[in-house]
């Protein structure tokens, strides 16, 4: 495989990824607190699936919300 052809695109992708990570370090609402308390979990569970906040590791719920918002708007 010719790595010279991949060198510039790879560097461009890495530079964009670095810029995105550094620019949006704390853009996610859950960034500062990954774990939740029992009271917060109960409050989140009592909400309908489509209005719950996106949370890391909750792939099914996050995907359902993203598809719903993509199809129907926010």
- Under the banding of pLDDT at 50, 70 and 90, the label for residue 67 is very high
Query: Is residue 37, in this structure, part of any structural domain at all?
Result: no
- Whether 6 is covered by a domain: the verdict is no
User: Does 2 map to a domain?
Assistant: no
The pLDDT score that the predictor gives to residue 23 is 52
Asked whether residue 22 is assigned to any structural domain, the reply reads: no
Please report whether residue 42 resides in a domain. Answer: no
| Torsion 37-41-55-51 (CA) sign | negative
Domain containing residue 63: 47-74
In a domain, 23, yes or no: no
Domain count, the chain: 1
Asked if residue 26 lies in contact with residue 39, where contact means CB atoms within 8 angstroms, the answer is: no
Q: Output the pLDDT for position 71.
A: 92
- pTM (two decimals): 0.44
């Amino acid at each position: 495989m010719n790595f010279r052809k991949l060198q510039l695109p790879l560097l461009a992708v890495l530079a964009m990824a670095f810029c995105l990570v550094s620019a949006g370090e704390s853009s996610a609402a859950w960034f500062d607190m990954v774990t939740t308390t029992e009271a917060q979990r109960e409050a989140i569970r009592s909400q309908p699936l489509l209005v719950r906040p996106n949370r890391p590791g909750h792939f099914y719920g996050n995907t359902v919300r993203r598809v719903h918002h993509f199809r129907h708007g926010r």
